[in-house]
A = this chain, B = another copy of it.
Amino acid sequence: MAKRKRRPRRAPNTPPLDSRTRILAAATAEFALRGFAATTVDRIAAHARLNKAMIYYHFSSKQHLYQIVLRTLFTSVGDVLVQIAHSPLAPDQKLDHFVATFVTEGTARHQLAPIILREIAEGGRRLDEETFTLMAHIVRVMGGIVDEGRASGQFEPVDPILLYLTTVWPIIVYLATSPIRSALARIGHFDVARLDAPRFIEHLQHINRRALMPCTANAPSPTGVSS
């Protein structure tokens, strides 16, 4: 039965969003929830409290709308991470920050992880050159940090691509599983708290530190960059 139509959710004294913005927000949410193919334009319209025709007034096609959603998401997260690389921190601190920021940023934009996962599953067939490059930026950011750490002698040799694989993707999956974390805990018979963000961040930082740095430097970071 129709259980629906709860009226969202705008903070008081906030101006109403224009239709294009509402559509983009609704599309991001729906695409993240169901994927491109399973998302209907009708649903996006309903979510945005608009008619379907309005979507085609603002965007030429469902495909096009999806493309804009992707670029927006990837750009915003990428920008934050690039800033870390340009910060004046030491390489190991940058890496810790990279991990912590990716987790918190990805939590705030909870649509990012499921969308990325589906694109990977798709073999990147839906990504245009620009979006592809946007994703490659993240690898480059990590590469830069590694190079820096190598040059200063702080890091041991490691291939940035491999470090990227073992750092970024656990984060993405961690983020994507957040809606079902309690269900997972129930089935696996463990406490959900074992999967809370600070612990996860600390674990990732820990294994990266031990992977990259000599034993003597493996003590937990005293600055405690964990959120």
Contacts and interface: CB of A to CB of B under 8 A. Distances in A.
A188 B120 contact: no
A174 B165 contact: yes
Given A162-B199, A170-B169, A204-B166, A121 B132 contact: no
Nearest to A132: B187
Contacts of A215: 215, 218
A162 B203 contact: yes
Interface in A170-227: 170, 172-174, 176-177, 179-180, 183-184, 187-188, 190, 194-195, 199-200, 203-204, 206-207, 210-211, 215, 218
Interface residues of A, number: 53
A207 B200 contact: no
A179 B36 CA distance: 21
A38 interface: yes
A37 interface: yes
A139 interface: yes
Contact of A199 (B38, B115, B139, B159): B159
Given A37-B38, A121-B176, A207 B199 contact: no
A203 B170 contact: no
Contacts of A43: none
Interface in A143-163: 158-159, 161-162
A120 B190 contact: no
A19 interface: no
27 contacts: A36-B38, A113-B121, A114-B120, A114-B121, A114-B122, A114-B123, A117-B117, A120-B176, A121-B121, A121-B176, A123-B177, A124-B180, A132-B187, A136-B188, A161-B194, A161-B195, A162-B195, A162-B200, A165-B170, A165-B173, A166-B203, A166-B204, A169-B169, A206-B211, A207-B210, A211-B211, A215-B215
